[in-house]
Chain A
């Protein structure tokens, strides 16, 4: 990766021991539209604001929540083009595993591989870190899981978390509202309520995207009408 003229890392330590390129990448993430995830007792929900720059954009071509394997999905906050690279790598990783073992990759392993890619871009020559944080959700034999991966490549499993512009308020809201016994339906309602807190304008199925995975282990993105139905229930 990169030509020999750039075989030195662009992400180097500052005198105080910080990797400033990563800090700056986090700035890019924090100015992106809010995304959040909530792990319920029987599933996981991902929800994100779909902030379109104009009414002229054909919103059917915009997908912020991506299917990675049949039981794992991911969303992001930050630079859209960078997220496409990671979605592609994650999808390939899932396929390579399946080809080898004829079994779906586990959530933790997929997250680890994706995080490794992100870390490599903070150390390799001639490249910059990714300007996205990822929210990955899936259901495997260890039950429902939710992970957050940052531009540095560090990742943690979460019960509930938010990334992007409104993450501070969203996380405070989630801390109050979260409980371990929550079921998927409640989690969806809570996710929409949390997004509503920082949302500018009217929330609808056209400017919010929701993805869920339940005990059936099938990750899917809800249709706009389904999201509208849920929104009516929390209004």
Chain B
């Protein structure tokens, strides 16, 4: 009996046990980049942090980043192949701009996540394109719902999260986050800015078992300046990357807590 002609590992057709090997391999790629990322969603702020690994002493560190601004209120962190990440970021920016043009308001993070996930699904079903070896984590402010955190994977699966992780040590990070979440009164959603950022950074330090300096990490947040709704919507939701000084401030607060 033919086993898919032996191509089930080369293109996305089913294997005998009902799996898509190409999709599974794409997941592995997202880990080979060697960095880990953690994201936490709080009440007025959602944050993600990732390691900053500059591959070569001759590279200009300011040009090395895994964090990309998509709209003024949505940011994306990518773990995996850099080339695929650039393509994905371009698509995200293009879709967001088109949405704003068509409908007259900022794209909600969940809608953007769905668009990227649907595109990822197409790659798992059509042989002519391979799945992307990238896992994007999307943070942003939804005008009506507030803080949002989504993760999309190469299988086209996406859900909203209270906290999540991706990359090399994603499993350890997720375990740590689950324990922490249970220990916080009201869960992560009750936390505000300082606690959200410090939880995310502490998580990364914990999982990497090393103390981090501001030059080793990239931290970015999407926040709502005021939790008062104006005209039924949260105003002023913004995405920004923290400066080294701001990161140092948080690292100091964490050190003091110990």
A residues at B contact (CB < 8 Å): 1-3, 5-6, 10-12, 14-16, 18, 20-21, 24-31, 52, 54-58, 60-62, 79-82, 84-85, 88, 121, 126-131
Q: Are B2 and A81 in contact (CB under 8 A)?
A: no
User: Number of contacting residues on B, CB 8 A?
Assistant: 44
Known: A56-B164, A58-B159, A126-B127. A24 touches B178 (CB 8 A): no
Q: Are B125 and A20 in contact (CB under 8 A)?
A: no
Known: A27-B17, A61-B110. A127 touches B161 (CB 8 A): no
| In the bound complex, CA of A28 to CA of B24 (Å) | 14
Closest 3 CB pairs of A and B: A27-B18, A81-B156, A61-B160
Decide yes or no whether B124 CB sits under 8 A from chain A.
Answer: yes
Decide yes or no whether B121 CB sits under 8 A from chain A.
Answer: yes
Contacts of A54 in B (CB 8 A): 174, 178
Contacts of B181 in A (CB 8 A): 55-56
A2-B126, A10-B7, A85-B118 given; name 20 further pairs at CB < 8 Å: A2-B128, A18-B1, A21-B13, A24-B15, A24-B16, A24-B17, A25-B14, A26-B18, A55-B182, A56-B181, A57-B160, A58-B161, A61-B160, A62-B160, A81-B120, A82-B121, A82-B156, A128-B12, A130-B125, A131-B20
Contacts of A56 in B (CB 8 A): 161-164, 174, 177-178, 181
- Chain A CB within 10 Å, residue with most, of B14, B19, B164, B177: B14
Contacts of A30 in B (CB 8 A): 18
Residue from the list A6, A15, A28, A58 in contact with B14, Cβ < 8 A: A28
Residue from the list B13, B41, B155 in contact with A10, Cβ < 8 A: B13
Decide yes or no whether B157 CB sits under 8 A from chain A.
Answer: yes
| In the bound complex, CA of A161 to CA of B11 (Å) | 33
Contacts of B168 in A (CB 8 A): none
Known: A14-B2, A28-B14, A28-B19. A81 touches B121 (CB 8 A): yes
Q: List the A residue with the shortest CB-CB distance to B11.
A: A10
Which B residues between 179 and 235 are near A, CB-CB below 8 angstroms?
Answer: 181-182
Contacts of A2 in B (CB 8 A): 126-128
B residues at A contact (CB < 8 Å): 1-5, 7, 11-20, 41, 110, 114, 117-118, 120-121, 124-128, 149-150, 155-157, 159-164, 174, 177-178, 181-182
| In the bound complex, CA of A57 to CA of B153 (Å) | 14
- Interface of B, secondary structure class, is mixed
Contacts of B110 in A (CB 8 A): 61
Q: List the A residue with the shortest CB-CB distance to B155.
A: A81
Q: For the complex formed, measure the closest distance between the CB of A227 and the CB atoms of chain B, giving whole angstroms.
A: 19
- Chain A CB within 10 Å, residue with most, of B160, B174, B181: B160
Known: A81-B120, A81-B124. A20 touches B4 (CB 8 A): yes
Q: Are A3 and B157 in contact (CB under 8 A)?
A: no
Q: For the complex formed, measure the closest distance between the CB of A27 and the CB atoms of chain B, giving whole angstroms.
A: 3
Q: Are A27 and B14 in contact (CB under 8 A)?
A: yes
| In the bound complex, CA of A59 to CA of B142 (Å) | 17
- Chain B CB within 10 Å, residue with most, of A1, A16, A20, A130: A20
Q: List the A residue with the shortest CB-CB distance to B153.
A: A81
| In the bound complex, CA of A56 to CA of B127 (Å) | 33
Q: For the complex formed, measure the closest distance between the CB of B161 and the CB atoms of chain A, giving whole angstroms.
A: 6
Q: List the B residue with the shortest CB-CB distance to A125.
A: B127
Q: List the A residue with the shortest CB-CB distance to B41.
A: A58
Known: A24-B16, A56-B178, A81-B121. A10 touches B127 (CB 8 A): yes
Contacts of A61 in B (CB 8 A): 110, 150, 159-160
Q: Are A24 and B162 in contact (CB under 8 A)?
A: no
Q: For the complex formed, measure the closest distance between the CB of A1 and the CB atoms of chain B, giving whole angstroms.
A: 7
Q: Are A16 and B127 in contact (CB under 8 A)?
A: no
Contacts of B15 in A (CB 8 A): 24
Residue from the list A24, A57, A126 in contact with B126, Cβ < 8 A: A126
Q: For the complex formed, measure the closest distance between the CB of B71 and the CB atoms of chain A, giving whole angstroms.
A: 19
Q: Are B126 and A127 in contact (CB under 8 A)?
A: yes
